Amino acid sequence: MRYCILLIMMFLSPPPDSVKVAFWNLENFFDPFVDSTRAYNEFTENGGQHWTKTRFYNKRNNIYKAILSFSGSQPIGIMGVCEVENEFVLNALFAQTPLKRFNYRWVHYEGPDRRGIDPAIIYSKDKFQLIYSEAIPFYNPNDTAMVSRDILYAKFFDYRSDTLHCFVNHWPSKYRGELETAEARNCAAGIVRRKVDSIVAVIPEAKIIIMGDFNDTPESPCIREVLGAKHHSETTENDLLVNMFAKAEDLGFKGTLKHQDSWSIFDQIIVTKTLINSNSLHCTSSDARIIHDPMLLTEDATYHGVKLNRTYLGPRYLGGLSDHLPVVLLLRY
C-alpha cells in the first residue's frame, strides 16, 4: 500500500522536464440547447434526457475539478476527449473555469455522428503550437451507408524542437453485438494504421500518439492485429506501435469502464517506438496511469466494489461525471 501511494504521489508531482498527455470520454457532454439542424435533441430540457442548464453546469464543474485533480502540480499539455457536442461545451469547460489559466486551445470539427458527438483535442498554447489538423472520415467499404465518428488528427510543435503527431479516436461501439460490429472497428483501425504508415514513410523517426475510446480491449484483433499495437514486452524489431495501456497491472487500476462485475480497458494511449527509445521526448512503461480518483467512482451495491460515477444510466439521471475513467501518459524530456 505504501509503495502504491508513493507511485501515485510521484505521478501527480512529475519532474519539471515533462509533459502530460491525457484522454477522457466525457459521456454525452451536450449543451442544453435545441439544435434545429439535427433530428436528435434528447439532451435538452424538454427532450427525453431532460438535460437542463443546471445539469449541464453541474457536469461541467465536476469535470473541471476532476481534470485539476489528476493534473496534480502540472497541467495537462495535450488532452483528447470524445462525446463532446460542439465548441460551446469546450469553451464552457476550458475557457470559463479555473482551467482557463492554462491557456488551453482546442481542435474540433463538426462530424457526421447522428447524435452530434465528436472527438476533440485540447492543448496548452504555453507548451504546444498547432501546425496542422484534419478530421479523417470513417469509411467501411463493405457498408458504405454506415456512419461513425471522424478520427481527429493534429500535428504539434512543442517549443523544444520536437514534433508530435496525435490521433484522437472514438471507434464504433458494440451496441449491435461484438461480432456484428467487429468489422467496423477493424475498418477504423485500418484507417489509422494507413495514416500512421504514410507519416512514417516520409519521417521514419516521427513521434506519434494514438489515443481514444477504442470500444475494444488491448487484446482485440482490431488493436493487436489491424492497428498492430502490443505491450512493449511483446514487440519485435519489426513492430512500430506500443500500447502503453495493454496490461492492467502496469496502470494502477483494473480498467476504464465496468460492465456488471467486469472491468475492461477501452480507453488507451498508443505510441510509436520512437517515443520509447528517444533521447529527447520519451516515455517508459511506468509512465501510464488509469486515473481513479474517488470523485470518479461510487459504491457498487449490486456487483460489489466500485463502479463509475456516471451522468446517466439510460434515461435515469445520476448526476455523476462519466461512464469512463480518464487515462494519462507522462512524457519526459
Supply the pLDDT for residue 149.
97
Confidence of residue 14 (pLDDT cuts 50, 70, 90): low
The rounded mean pLDDT for the chain is 93
* Mean pLDDT of the region 131-136: 98
Least confident range from 26-30, 42-46, 282-286, 305-309: namely 282-286
Q: Per-residue pLDDT for 9 more than 50?
A: no
Residue 10 lies in a domain: no
Residue 255 lies in a domain: yes
* Mean pLDDT of the region 74-78: 94
* Mean pLDDT of the region 142-168: 94
Residue 12 lies in a domain: no
Residue 183 lies in a domain: yes
CB burial of residue 8 (10 Å; 0-12, 13-18, 19+): middle
Residue 14 lies in a domain: no
Q: Per-residue pLDDT for 76 more than 70?
A: yes
Within the chain, how many helices (H) and strands (E) appear?
6, 19
**Domains in the chain, number:** 1
Q: Per-residue pLDDT for 7 more than 60?
A: no
Eight-class DSSP state of 298: E
**N-to-C CA span, the chain:** 29
Residue 13 lies in a domain: no
Backbone angles phi, psi at 30, to 5 degrees: -95, 155
| Proportion of the chain above pLDDT 90, given as a percent | 87
pLDDT in tens, 216-251: 999 999 999 999 999 999 999 999 999 999 999 999
Supply the pLDDT for residue 26.
98
Supply the pLDDT for residue 13.
52
Q: Per-residue pLDDT for 178 more than 50?
A: yes
User: Which residue reads 507522462 in cell numbers?
Assistant: 330
Give the torsion through C-alpha atoms of 313, 317, 318, 324, to 10 deg: 50
Supply the pLDDT for residue 2.
45
pTM, two decimals, is 0.94
Contacts of 243 (CB under 8 A, 6+ apart): 218, 223, 229, 230, 231, 268, 270
Confidence of residue 15 (pLDDT cuts 50, 70, 90): low
Residue 7 lies in a domain: no
Domain encompassing residue 44 = 19-332
Does an H or E element contain 197, and which?
Answer: helix 178-202
Nearest alpha-carbon partner for 80 in 174, 156, 146: 156
Supply the pLDDT for residue 175.
80
More confident residue, 18 or 229: 229
Q: Per-residue pLDDT for 291 more than 90?
A: yes
CA 166/CA 122 separation, integer angstroms: 11
Supply the pLDDT for residue 1.
47
228: left (phi over 0), alpha (psi -120 to 50) or beta: left
Q: Which residues pair with 173 in a beta bridge?
A: none
Are 92 and 315 in contact, with CB atoms under 8 Å apart?
A: no
Q: Which CATH number fits the domain that encloses residue 170?
A: 3.60.10.10
| Proportion of the chain above pLDDT 70, given as a percent | 95
